[in-house]
Amino acid sequence: MPQGRTLAFVIALTIVVLAGAAAAEGQLRLLFVISGGRSAADRLDHPADVALDAATGEIYIADTGNDRLLIVGSAGEFRAEIRVWEDLRRPIAVAVANNEIYLAGSASRRVGVLDMRGRVKERIDLDPGGGKGIAVGRMAAVDDRLYVIDRSADRVVVLHLLTRRVMTALGGRGSKDGQFTSLAGVAVAPDGAIYALDMMRASISVFDSNGSFIRRFGEAGGSFGQLALPTGLAVDAGGRTFVVDATRHTLLLYDTDGRFVREYGGLGKTPGWFYFPRNVQVDAKGRVYVVEPFLNRVQVLAIRP
């Protein structure tokens, strides 16, 4: 991919953790901000999602308002852009695995599969019933599986990437354990456990790798350590869970057992603070990527132990 000049701003800024007496135990350090592409005038427009290519370290941003995927290097330098058309326009979800890009637009009923040059290879129908497809939402790709949110049924559809066959579907609409009312995010832990975020119930449900419900965690509310309107989640290599809360403007951290550890940020537009964050991702190095559509940026941060 062509190299371009770096537009990310590398700022050695440290934000004190908002964790009461535990504040000294950890800090959030801003590494850089991604706000555009190949020139100063080429700005992100309401980005919705971010994905990471584990093989190259490249960052893929679903740049919704510009109808494209923006690709930058691990230090924030511009690499390339992929323009998208038809049902992949206004991209809202992206994942990368097995030398393929998986993409969904705001009106997608199928998952678009692109090669690494951005050429559309196929579109995959994830409707187990063979109907008119599903309302494709957030997705996560791990090894040979793609986990896709079906917004129309509040479930997670699991696709085998080699056979292109639907393996199973988790959840469904309802108020019981293992069901959802507004499914907003999905992530996979190192042990294969599947984490699914319910925005309206303000909770995270955990399933084993076979799809059996294990537990649910997260406390609803508008105070410290609580979830008011969670909109995205990620699980790091150590099994910790990160959740962004849009209306509390925070990033919350939970341990491997789902216990709240601390929260970061707060309402603000300067780097290091958050303004209606929509999604979060974590890479193999532990770097945290927070997507803020209304500020047209992705912040890249590191948590000090």
Long-range contact pairs involving 187-194 (C-beta distance under 8 Å, separation at least 24): 187/140, 187/233, 187/234, 187/235, 187/241, 188/140, 188/142, 188/145, 188/147, 188/235, 189/235, 189/239, 190/235, 190/237, 190/238, 190/239, 191/239, 192/142, 194/147, 194/156, 194/170
Phi and psi angles of residue 276, each rounded to the nearest 5 degrees, phi first: 50, 60
Q: Is the pLDDT of residue 1 over 60?
A: no
The reported pLDDT for the residue numbered 131 is 64
Residue 2's pLDDT band (cuts 50, 70, 90): very low
Would you say residue 4 has pLDDT above 50?
Answer: no
Query: 256 pLDDT exceeds 60?
Result: yes
Report d(CA 108, CA 193) in Å as an integer.
27
Average pLDDT over all residues of the chain: 90
Contact 220, 199 (CB under 8 A): no
Which DSSP category does 60 fall into?
A: E
DSSP lists the bridge partners of residue 105 as 91
pLDDT digits (tens, 9 = 90+) for 53-83: 999 999 999 999 999 999 999 999 999 999 9
CA-based nearest residue to 96, from 124, 58, 68? 58
Read off the pLDDT of residues 214-238 as tens digits, 9 standing for 90 and up: 999 999 999 999 999 999 999 999 9
Residue 256: how many other CB atoms lie within 10 Å: 15
- Percent of the chain exceeding pLDDT 90 equals 83
Q: How confident is the model at residue 127 (pLDDT cuts 50, 70, 90)?
A: confident
User: Considering the domain 9-304 in this protein, what is its CATH number?
Assistant: 2.120.10.30
- pLDDT tens digits, 138-172: 999 998 999 999 999 999 999 999 999 999 999 99
Domain boundary assignment for the chain:
9-304
* Strand partners of residue 17: none
Q: What percent of the chain has pLDDT over 70?
A: 90
What are the pLDDT digits (tens) for 200-210?
999 999 999 99
Per the CB < 8 A criterion, the answer to whether 45 and 94 are in contact is no
Asked whether the beta carbons of 251 and 243 are under 8 A apart, the reply is yes
CA–chain centroid gap for 94, Å, is 8
